[in-house]
Structure formats: structure tokens, C-alpha cells
Structure 1
Amino acid sequence: MDSARSPIRTICCIGAGYVGGPTMAVIADRCPHIQVTVVDLNVERIDAWNDPDLARLPVYEPGLDAVVGRARGRNLHFTTEVDGAIAAADMVFLSVNTPTKTRGVGAGQASDLRWIEASARQVAAVARGHTIVVEKSTLPVRTAEAVKAILGAAQQNGSGPANGETKTFSVLSNPEFLAEGTAIGDLESPDRVLIGGEDASAIECLAGIYATWVPDERILRTNLWSSELSKLTANAYLAQRISSINSIAALCEATGADVREVGRAIGTDSRIGSRFLQAGPGFGGSCFQKDILNLVYLCRHYGLEEVAAYWEQVVTLNTWQQDRIARMVVQRLFGTITGKRLAVLGFAFKADTNDTREAPAIRICRELIEEGARLVIVDPKVSSAQIAADLGQPPSAAEGGWQVAASPLEAATGADAVLILTEWREYARLDWDAIGAVMRRPAWLFDARAIADADAARAAGLNVWRVGEG
């Protein structure tokens, strides 16, 4: 299949966040014949996408600046003019936030679909002619029913806003399978593109866009419900592997085994594979916990209590791992960290991103602050303002406070311990002689990512704890 088989010439994406922005940038880059417009009501975010300085894009992803630089102003546009972009579009992607509900039925587990509903209603109100509506946000299975109902009501009302043309809609599910930090590579060379729907013509329109650069055998076509559920299931399986290896890490520490050796041994089994077998402080990001809790809620909704309990335990163990690390720090530092300076290296939920949503560092830092520690935090991409928002308090040098530092060496000066919570590559090459020389003794390295040179840290006089090492 080639792109000539897709009649789509104008795309609108509602939502300029971590999914919408990069996805549309790659589509625009690979399909210069398609005009792609990304819309958002957040003026500050749109201004950042339009900033001439590509280093100021609101999303940090390796390679994203180059992609945006090639397409922006040619066929990639960012604007707050939502209605005009929808009206002009042949295809509209819904890529808005779907957070976990905080109140009402399903609070703490079910997805809050208010922004999906609002977007669908806006499309229904201003779209013209035939519009293909694509679910890009991660959604509970059967959400397309609600979207179709809203669009169907507009279709039954008959005519477009200006010229009397008939409105018609097709709804597709096209979930993203991006890993932050490698999103551009994931988009440019995906394992698979999943398209679910009931309208075969609409499916082929979207497939034709991707076929510009994705081999046809990697473009999977399913029904709507399978597509929606596949996204939740993929994230649940990946998160399950992280919780599983972290549970074994705790057992390794108790028995004298090494989780890296165990992971290498089982990863050579072709039935298991080596991916997601690295122990650490647990999973974070925008999707894993939210999607598992959503899966738990859906299972309970359909009366599958045992299935719900199974998946809920994945989240429970993830939280336990973060609590365990915080307790470990307190225990090793003579049972109290009140007033002690602790250097925290890394705050993003993983390397090569500035995203802190559900980052393990948040829970761990909050617990250390509650114990009265003075935290000094370093992260190459996360701003002080974002850290303040996540920790719920402004910077302070007082007991139970936190500050930022410009470098690991500055953070470690006078510190009792260094904690590595994000696997940034530069933390594998730290000068432990220099760091050890400025720390208070006895000094500790708590390496929750097992990325540092432990032998060099020990040679510099530090006590070392590495996750999963007995």
C-alpha cells in the first residue's frame, strides 16, 4: 500500500501533549502532502511548540527537535484556533488527557473521560462533511460507543454549520505504543500500528497514511473493542514484568543472589526475553498505573473480581517497592535522617524525558521529606517549578525541605548519602573520588537503578546499596 491510496489531505489533532505533539510531528514529516494542525487551549503550550528555539519545545524527546524543525511552518502547525482546524480536517485525532477519576463512581481507578467527551462534542458541533475521528488517547474498552453516540446525534441533526452539507462520521481506535525517551524511534519504526474500527474504508484511509513509511505487515486491523483493550493490556503486561522483577530483587537482597544475574539467566529463555527485566524503584509515567487501575475497574464492573485482584497487586507491589527504598535509606543512616542532607540524582520517571508523572522519585522524596531530610535534587531536564508542583511545596533549606543543585557534585557536598532514582547515562560516569571527598562520613550510595560504578564508589570510601544485590 502507498500513501496515494489515502484521500486524507488535512488532519487536526486535539491535544498538544506528550502523544499528540510527537505523533503529529512524525506524520507531518513523513507525509508532506498532508497538512497537519495540532490544537490545544493551553496558550503557553502552543507558544512553546511554536518557539523559534527548538530547545524550548514543551516535550523533551531525543530527535523531536529535528523532526519539528523540518515540518513546522511547511505542513505542521500549532494553534489555539480549535474550531477552524476541526472544520477544515478530513481526519481528527483525539489525543487529550484521560486521568484517573478523583471523585464519584470509580474514583481512584476509572478514567476521567470529560475531555474526550468535550472533544467529541466539539467535533460534532463544527465538523463539515465526512470526518474520520480517531481515538489516540488511552481509553477504556467500549469508550468508542460514547464517542459514536455523540457524533451520531450530530449526524442525525443533518447539516453542517455553514453550507448545508450533510455531516457523517467514522470512528477508529489507533492507540499509541510509545515509550518516552524513545518515542521518535518508536514512531518512525514501530513494532506495529493498530487500527480498530467498523468502517473498512476509514480504516484503509488511516492505514494509507502510516503505509507511507511503515511496512504493511506491521499495520494491524482489528475491531474497535480489541484495539481499545489491546492498549490497556500491553501496558498491564509491561508493568507486570517490572513488578515481578522488583519482587525478585527483594528476594535476591535477602538471600545473597544478584537480580542482574537472575534477570540475565531468565532473559536468555526465548519464551521470556530480556526486555523489562531491570530492577529499579518501580514504574512511573502517564500510563502504566492509570491503565492498570482502569483495567481493575473494568474487571470489577464486569464481575471479574479475581481478575481485578490479580492486576491490582501489580500496582500494590510497585508502591511497596518505593516505600521499601525510602525505608532502606532511613535504616542504613542509623534510623534517622532528620536534618541530614541527601543528594537525589534524577527526578524524571525515566531517562531521556522531562516527564515526572507518577515518577518513583516523587513518592520516595515525599517519604524522605516526611522523615525530616534536607533533599538536594538534580535532574538534567526537570525544572524546579515541576519538582515543586510534584512535591507539593516550594524549595526550602529547612528540615523536611528540598532544593535543587546544578550538578551531582554540588548536591553531594556535605551530604550523608547519594540516591540515584533515574537512570540518566551521565550517572554511570560520575567521579566518585570527587564526590566522596565532599561528603560527610560515613557516606552512602543508594543506587536504585544499579547504573553507577559501584566498585569506584566503594573505592572512594562509600558504603553502597544497589537494588537487587544481596
Structure 2
Amino acid sequence: MGLGSCSMFPPSPSSVDPEEAALLDMSTAPTTPEGSLSYSPVLRPQDDPSFGRSRSTNGRPLSSALFDTTTRTPPVRNICCVGAGYVGGPTAAVIAFQNPHIRVTVVDRDERRIRRWNSQHPPIYEPGLTDILRIARDGSKEVVLHNAPSKHDASDSVSSGLTTPPSDAESNCAGNNRLIRVAARQPNLFFTTDIARSISEADVVLIAVNTPTKNRGVGAGSATDMAAFEAVTAVVAQHARPGAIIVEKSTVPCRTAQLVYQTLSLHRPGVHFEVISNPEFLAAGTAIKDLLYADRILIGSSNTPAGYRAASALADVYAAWIPRSRIITTNVFSSELAKLVANSMLAQRISSINSISAICDATGADVDEVASAIGADPRIGSKFLRAGIGFGGSCFKKDVLSLVYLAETLILPEVADYWRAVINMNEFARNRFVSRVIRCLNNTLAGKKVTVLGYAFKKDTNDTRESPALDIIRTLEEEGPREIAIFDPCCIPTQMTDEIGRFVRKDVLKENGGPVAVYADVYAACEGSDAVLITTEFDEFKSPTGKEGLAIPVKQKTRLTDPRPFEQPEPKENELLALHSYLVSDSDTDDPLGRLYPVPACDDECPDCQVERTTGTKGYGASKEHVLKQRVDWKKIYCQMRKPHWVFDGRGVLDIAIMEKIGFRVESVGRQSRRSD
């Protein structure tokens, strides 16, 4: 196919040196007419310490010479991540955090986004991200720690983080495992718009740009829009150093690696690159946890010695904190397809339980009880069986549609119809919820105020892409209400207002004479409302368990366990992070260990600071975590609302009995009201 030296197919022996030719002859997987990468070997767990040596193809072991220090790819020292969004930013931050010896640079052409990553106003919010940033981006101080578990509360053990080097006597004690010195760290995470230079210096280039669904042209509505990915691939091809490892981090259609190889060959004929598929399996709201404690790392490579060595080099980066047994390698096409299938299967479960919720509403069954009963079957499990208004976010819908388009292009209409039904059921669940709201309000919203609680597509994140709330707001606005009030505990009101203006219409905003108003206070949003809709499952919105439905203050954060004593004299970053979290959990300081440098100060003209000063609202930045302080006082909301006090629970977070005892009329997806009309 004219792919030159960067072909994904094994080169002929005449095109490589004798050693490589011998290796190819003895270890390359069987090929098909379309080449070796269409062959799908069994998943290859990398069992430490013999990672790679135990892998075999067609019963023949791979040569151990591939993994000798003289033949394997040199250790990775410099990584460039192209794309500073919801995937690239957190992923690069954790890689840098866990690998102090690797320089990690995140590049993006969006100057505003890069400025925010370098400030106290990161463009995205994820629990735990700020702690990672402050170490990797800003560096840390040398400290000495007691290596004994705290005998008292965490608040009493803050003194166990010492900020001065130990004396000779203390150093001797360190030998007895009583004190541990944690060395200072230099910053190794950088954010810049200098794309060409950063790519040219990298051993590994991660491509983590957005790949949305096409909205025009061939495949509109289902095919993946690869414009940004293709553009970045061309830039990478022009500037990457010879031998660099190019990693698909974005979610891409199956066989995209072939496109990448062709692009590389077109711009740099005769120059060898390896293309790796390393999809992310991150969930918004738990992305940092998913990275720190990943259940699997999937690496797809070509079935060639060079491909295996590239996979090994990338695996070494993750092995700094992920057990080798969780690092799985496949061929590159299997890896690409596995990401689409994983998200599609999860989306399928959500649509399945939502289809059952409709039956529950019609029959009087309770969807929670049904889900609990079937989830007890170990073959099914309990995950993703929560009925509601359906899934949102940037992944599920897009990836299911990509799978639909793949099936259509392969002339598999039955497969395409099956997966398209998952999307149809998701839209049905959302539309059914809105129809229920309108029906209960006597089929008209004219002159009425409706409050929407939750704008992000799920709790503990400010990610609003494909948010169900946005579609619900759009539909409600068409009914001509007096006001649609919106509150979200994690999103910045000014950004929400701007987004609604862009994705609905500017004239729907209150400031332009429309009904939509965004609030920074939940009680102001609910005052005078005819109905409250819960569209995101934030803990703030849950029913209290106190007497008569009064709000219950959260007096302390979740009690954590002291991770000490550490087994090794040099604790790993995950262990230090666990100790930091333990000490922070019951103290008033954000730096109990004394490791952190001050948060970078913003310029006087910082637009984010100006917005905060003007509106009195704050985003979540380097020292601001979204912490549940108090659940909403539903009794107070009841007193502020108009009769008959409708609440529509689209996420199953309310205890219907408690809410009805207060006086609310509750409608919840698949759950039966206890009231007698």
C-alpha cells in the first residue's frame, strides 16, 4: 500500500538488517491478505518480571533478544501530549506525577486553555486533580516524615510532616524506620502552545484530541469526525523525531492506525515510527482515581518485534504505579475496537434498565427492587443498573454511534440496528421524563417557573458535554414557561450561561428577555418554583435521613486510614498522596506535609479572577475542591415553592417516603409514589 518504512505490516527481510530479519522470521504472527494486524491474538497479560518473554504467536515463543537492553527501545524520557482537554490534561498530569524522571509536556493551540492550566483556574474540575498538579507542575519541597501510624485523629498528626532536614540523630532514627526523608521534586509537567518544538523533543507523542460525531456530510449523525485527529497527525508526522512512538489516546474508529501510518509515510517517507493504541477508560468525576488505580491498561501494537518493543517502552511508563498484571497488550486494531465496545456495553446496560423502568411505571413494580434482584446474579452484577434520564457525556453516545457506523460500512445492518437501539432507548428515557413533567403540570408551563438542579452530565465534575440537562432545558423552553432556573454545585454560573446561549439560543437567556436564568444559590433557584427537576445525581440533592427531612450538615469528611508505616524507605507517590489525603481529611490546611509551594499567582488582568470578583462566584482551582458541606434543606425548599410542590427525580436520589412526609408530590423514574391521590 505504499506505506514505506512506517508500514504496519512486517517488512520483507531484504528491507531490514539481518538481526531484525531473523527475529521477524521466528516471531511474527501469521498474516492474512490484509496484513498482520488483522490477526487478533489472545490478550497478552504482561506478568512481571518476564513481561514480553512469555508471549507467543502460534505456539512459538518470542525471542528473548527482543527484550535485552541492547535491542529494546530505550527508556522514555520525554513525553508530549497533544490536547489539553478532559483526557489529555489529567492523563499527562498523573503520568508526570508518577514518573518524576520523565518530562511531560501538554500542548494545545488554545492559548486560553493553556493559560488556565498554568494558573489557579484549571479548565476542568476532577476530584484529586489539584493535588496532582501542585506536585507535578509546581514541584515540591524536601520533607521528613514520621513513618509510624498516627495514634490520634488525623488532625493531631499534622505535625508528622516536617519541613526541615533531619539532624544526625534523627537520621540515625530513620534507619530504624521512624523517619523517612522525601526528596524535593523539580517540576516535570509543563503546558505550552509551542506544539512543533514539544513534539520534536518527545520520545512518545500522545494524541488526545476531541473526536466528536460528524454533524454533516457522509456518515453525519454516526461517523466519527476525525478532522482534528487527522490535522494533529499531520503535524506530528512533520515534527516527530525518527523512531518516536506515536500513541492514539483519543477514541478512534477501528483501523485508524492504518490512517496514521499512511500519514506518517506521506510526510516522512523512509522514516520509521511505531503507532500504538492506548485508549483511556476514564469516567468523569472519578478520572484521577481511574488513572491512579486503573483496573487495566490496554496497549495495542503491531505484531512485529519493533511493535512489541514500543509497547514495552510504553508499558514501562505505566509500570511506575500500575501492576504489570493489569497491563494488557493486543494488536492495535483490537485495542481500538475494545474501547468502542467497552463504552457501548456500559451504555447498553443503562438503556436496558431504563427500558425496564418504563415497564415498572406501567405495572407498579419498583425499578430499584428489580435492579437489586437481577444485580445479585454474579453473571450480571449491580453496576450501571440505576434507572433515570439516561446517559450523557462525550463518550457513550459517540462511541455507540461509531460502532453503528462501523457495522453499517461492513454491511452488517442487523448489528447496526441493534446498537442504534441503545441510543434510541436513551433518547426515549429523556423524552419520557420531560413529557411526564409537562403532563403533571396540566400540560402547560405557561406562567410557571421550573427549577433544574444539576447541569453537568454527572456528579463531581464540571463536564457538561452531551448533558441530559441541556436537552431538557431546550424542550422545556419550547413550552413557554415564565422561568427556567438552573443550579449546579460544580459548574461556574457564567460558563453555564455562555454555553446555554451557544447551544440553545442567546435569546432564551434572562438577560436577553428569555426565561432561562442561572443561579449560584440553590434556594434562590427554587424560590417560587412550580416544579423542581433533579437532572444530576449530586450528593447535595439527596434526601436527608434526619427527622422531618431537615438538612443534615456534614461535620467531617470521610474518615480515611493512615497508610503508614510504609514498607519501603522511599515511599511511592501514591503512598504519599494517600498520607496527604488522610491528613487533609480532618484538618484545616491543604498542605499538612509541608511539601507544596504556593499556588501560582495570577496576573492582575486574569479574566477568571475578574469573573470571580464581578459575580462573587468561584470556580474549582488549585486549592479548591468540591466538597459536600450540606445537603439541601428540602423542608426550606418546600416552604418556598408553589403548590402542589412537584419534584421530579430523574436520578433516583430521593427517598420518596421522606419527601412525601414533608409534603412534596414526587415523580421518580421507575419508582412508585406512596401518596394516595
TM-score over 0.5 (shorter chain): yes
Partner residue, 2:117 = 49
Whose helix fraction is larger, Structure 1's or Structure 2's?
A: 1
Q: Is residue 138 of structure 2 the alignment partner of residue 29 of structure 1?
A: no
8 Å contact kept, 2:485–2:519: yes
Give the whole-Å Cα distance in 2 for the aligned partners of 1:103 and 1:406: 37
Q: Is residue 195 of structure 2 the alignment partner of residue 130 of structure 1?
A: no
Deviation at 1:123, TM superposition (A): 1.1
Q: Is residue 667 of structure 2 the alignment partner of residue 465 of structure 1?
A: yes
Give the whole-Å Cα distance in 1 for the aligned partners of 2:240 and 2:329: 26
Which of 168, 183, 198 is residue 287 of structure 2 equivalent to? 183
Give the whole-Å Cα distance in 1 for the aligned partners of 2:512 and 2:434: 19
Give the whole-Å Cα distance in 1 for the aligned partners of 2:318 and 2:527: 51
Give the whole-Å Cα distance in 2 for the aligned partners of 1:38 and 1:435: 45
Q: Is residue 227 of structure 2 the alignment partner of residue 227 of structure 1?
A: no
* Distance verdict in 2 for CA 1:399–1:240, change over 3 Å: farther
Q: Which range moves more in the overlay, 428-437 or 299-308?
A: 428-437
Partner SS state of residue 144, structure 1: helix
Partner residue, 1:87 = 200
Q: Which range moves more in the overlay, 374-383 or 300-309?
A: 374-383
Query: Is there any run of 5+ residues in structure 2 with no aligned partner, and where?
Result: 1-47, 52-68, 139-186, 543-630, 673-677
* Distance verdict in 2 for CA 1:304–1:26, change over 3 Å: same
Partner residue, 2:135 = 70
Deviation at 1:391, TM superposition (A): 2.8
Which of 639, 643, 655 is residue 437 of structure 1 equivalent to? 639
Q: Is residue 415 of structure 2 the alignment partner of residue 307 of structure 1?
A: yes
Deviation at 1:129, TM superposition (A): 2.5
1:258-279 deviation digits (Å, cap 9, x = unpaired):
1111111111100000100001
Deviation at 1:154, TM superposition (A): 3.2
8 Å contact kept, 1:436–1:457: no
8 Å contact kept, 1:239–1:288: yes
Partner residue, 1:408 = 522
Partner SS state of residue 337, structure 2: helix
Give the whole-Å Cα distance in 1 for the aligned partners of 2:215 and 2:301: 31
Partner residue, 1:424 = 538
Partner SS state of residue 126, structure 2: coil
Partner residue, 1:206 = 314
Partner amino acid, structure 1, of 2:350 = I
Deviation at 1:328, TM superposition (A): 0.4
Give the whole-Å Cα distance in 2 for the aligned partners of 1:398 and 1:26: 43
Query: Is there any run of 5+ residues in structure 1 with no aligned partner, and where?
Result: 159-166
Give the whole-Å Cα distance in 2 for the aligned partners of 1:78 and 1:398: 37
Partner amino acid, structure 1, of 2:294 = P
1:319-371 deviation digits (Å, cap 9, x = unpaired):
11111111100000111111210111001100011111111111111111101
Give the whole-Å Cα distance in 1 for the aligned partners of 2:512 and 2:533: 19
* Distance verdict in 2 for CA 1:327–1:299, change over 3 Å: same
Partner residue, 1:162 = none
Count residues with an aligned counterpart: 458
1:204-283 to 2 correspondences below 5 Å: 204-283=312-391
Partner amino acid, structure 1, of 2:515 = G
Partner SS state of residue 265, structure 2: helix
Deviation at 1:139, TM superposition (A): 0.3
8 Å contact kept, 2:541–2:632: yes
Partner residue, 2:429 = 321
Give the whole-Å Cα distance in 1 for the aligned partners of 2:355 and 2:335: 31
- With the length of structure 1 as denominator, give the TM-score of the two structures: 0.95
Which of 229, 246, 250 is residue 116 of structure 1 equivalent to? 229
Give the whole-Å Cα distance in 1 for the aligned partners of 2:439 and 2:513: 18
8 Å contact kept, 1:133–1:171: yes
Partner SS state of residue 386, structure 2: coil
Partner amino acid, structure 1, of 2:504 = L
Partner residue, 1:358 = 466
Deviation at 1:155, TM superposition (A): 3.5
Give the whole-Å Cα distance in 2 for the aligned partners of 1:392 and 1:191: 42
Partner residue, 1:455 = 657
Q: Is residue 11 of structure 2 the alignment partner of residue 11 of structure 1?
A: no
8 Å contact kept, 2:238–2:268: no
Deviation at 1:153, TM superposition (A): 2.4
1:100-132 deviation digits (Å, cap 9, x = unpaired):
111111111101111111111111111223110
Deviation at 1:398, TM superposition (A): 8.6
Partner SS state of residue 310, structure 1: helix
Partner residue, 1:168 = 272
1:138-188 deviation digits (Å, cap 9, x = unpaired):
0000011010111122332x5xxxxxxxx4210000000000100000000
Give the whole-Å Cα distance in 2 for the aligned partners of 1:438 and 1:391: 29
Deviation at 1:397, TM superposition (A): 7.2
% same residue: 51
Give the whole-Å Cα distance in 1 for the aligned partners of 2:526 and 2:320: 50
8 Å contact kept, 1:372–1:400: no
Deviation at 1:392, TM superposition (A): 2.9
Tell me how large the CA RMSD over aligned residues is: 1.6
Which of 102, 108, 125 is residue 40 of structure 1 equivalent to? 108
1:259-316 deviation digits (Å, cap 9, x = unpaired):
1111111111000001000011100000111111111111010000000000000001
1:236-270 deviation digits (Å, cap 9, x = unpaired):
00000000001111111111111111111111100
Higher Rg: 2
Which of 378, 381, 388 is residue 490 of structure 2 equivalent to? 381
Higher relative contact order (Cα pairs below 8 Å, separated by 6+ residues): 2
Q: Which range moves more in the overlay, 17-26 or 407-416?
A: 407-416
Give the whole-Å Cα distance in 2 for the aligned partners of 1:352 and 1:385: 21
Deviation at 1:399, TM superposition (A): 8.5
1:167-222 deviation digits (Å, cap 9, x = unpaired):
42100000000001000000001110000011111000001111111111110000
